[in-house]
A and B are shown apart, each in its own frame.
Chain A
Amino acid sequence: MKTHYLYQSEQHSWLFFGRDENKKDDIIDTNQYLIKTKRRAILLDPGGIELFSQMLTAVLQHIELEQLTDLFASHQDPDIISSLGLWDQCLDNATLHAPWLWEGFIRHFGMNSIRYNALPDSGGSLDLNGVTIEFIPAHYLHSSGNFHVYDPTAKILMSGDIGAALDHSGAPIFVEDFAQHIPKMQYFHERWMPSNRAKNDWIKRVRQLDIEYMAPQHGAIFKGDMVKRFLDWFEALEVGSAIES
């Protein structure tokens, strides 16, 4: 499992975990992110059961287990949060922030000790030991109840499945050549994203945010100018391709 610091300051850091070399070939590669402050940390889209031991290993290199007080699930998919039952057995005092829409579904992964903070459709924010992060609505992108995480201080948008690319586990962490990256993400967005209306609404809102890194849950991270290039490309893309016009 590769680890990379996306942002570091006195108050908090963003860590990327991904490109797991030991991952089975037939499961999709995923990116996980950890925001850590001095006393608390939140793990964003903790990943599937298959990834749990690698994630636990990676996380404990950076924080004490007791420091992991919060988890975030952008939506209900197994590659996002099927490890919940295992985290639940490890964490005594943690809260999962996830869409209200999926509470009854996500609980099927096993939740006895972790609390569920049901995020309303309008989103919300979390004060993590003095660092404020925002839960940005991204409904129908792709899930009908879906959120992203924005950190205005670090200028990072964790964008879930938006910007996702299907790439091999040895791929670079950042997008280096946008034109070459398009084939890795085009089908994903055309097929997984169901609504042009939802897409355009999201782009309009996201364009108003100050973003240095757009960090998706699969594939390479967009940095600097690549963020704008992605938004332009995505805006022009017709999604919902499974329905014949």
Chain B
Amino acid sequence: MAENTQQFIAVAQIASELHHAKSIAIDLSITSKNARALAARAGTTAAGFNEITGFIENLANLTITTANLVNQQAVKLVHDAARQFRDNGLLRQLQSAYQHSASIGQQRLIKLLRQTESAIADAQINIDKDMNQLTQRIEQTQNDLRSAKVVTVVARIESTRASADLQSSLESVADNVERSSLKIAHHLRQAQSFLIQQGDVE
């Protein structure tokens, strides 16, 4: 498969992973709203829980925002990479035409050949820049996810302080946060591995 083809397939795969992460983040956002209601019912017996719900909500929102941004960027990247793929195809055709042309045809082709080469080079600079931004966004979300582990532990401790009737619900919230953050982390790792593979191809 041509390098350029791999490039836009990789971008589409990254977008797909982020789409999965976003679906989980939407569930997480619902969890955080439930957690807020539970925290209100628990009152002072699980005061720390109230703080945690804010964090869960932020984490969910951050993941959703990142997924949306990555998706927008991925659409642009796929478009640019597809355009570059077509330009590469055109360049091969122009090179072939140049090779088979007499001098008058070659003179007429030179300008077009240079324009196409330059368009391909410019597109690659843009694609590389967008890829770097994509990598940074995914890394940032991964960093934020690391604190989800701490949140889960704190949530479990706080749940033990709550009254017996709320304990299992609060534990369930903690479980949910843990499960969701693990799943999101998995999809981000997958997205990152596509980025690394893409980097290896280049």
Binding site for B on A (CB under 8 A): 52-54, 56-57, 60-61, 64-65, 85-86, 89-90, 110
Contact = CB atoms under 8 A, between A and B. Distances in A.
A23 to B, nearest CB: 13
8 contacts: A53-B96, A54-B100, A56-B93, A57-B105, A61-B102, A86-B90, A89-B86, A89-B87
A85 B86 contact: yes
Interface string B66-106: 00000000000000000000110110111011001110110
B47 interface: no
Contact of A57 (B89, B90, B101, B116): B101
Contact of B86 (A60, A64, A110): A110
Contacts of A89: 86-87, 90, 116
Contacts of B89: 86
B104 A60 contact: yes
A53 B97 contact: yes
Contacts, number: 42
B101 A86 contact: no
A54 B105 CA distance: 12
A221 B109 CA distance: 31
B97 A56 contact: yes
Contacts of B94: 53, 56
A61 B93 contact: no
Interface residues of B, number: 18
Interface of B: 86-87, 89-90, 92-94, 96-97, 100-102, 104-105, 108-109, 112, 116
Nearest to A22: B100
A49 to B, nearest CB: 8
A34 to B, nearest CB: 14
A159 to B, nearest CB: 28
A60 B90 contact: no
A60 B97 contact: yes
Contacts of A56: 93-94, 97, 109
A57 B112 contact: no
Contacts of B112: 65, 90
A241 B93 CA distance: 39
A65 B93 CA distance: 15
A60 B105 contact: yes
Contacts of B104: 60-61
Given A65-B108, A65-B112, A90-B112, A57 B86 contact: no
A86 B105 contact: no
Q: Which 3 A-B pairs have the closest CB atoms?
A: A53-B96, A53-B93, A60-B105
A64 B90 contact: no
Contacts of B93: 52-53, 56, 86
Contacts of A57: 96-97, 100-101, 105
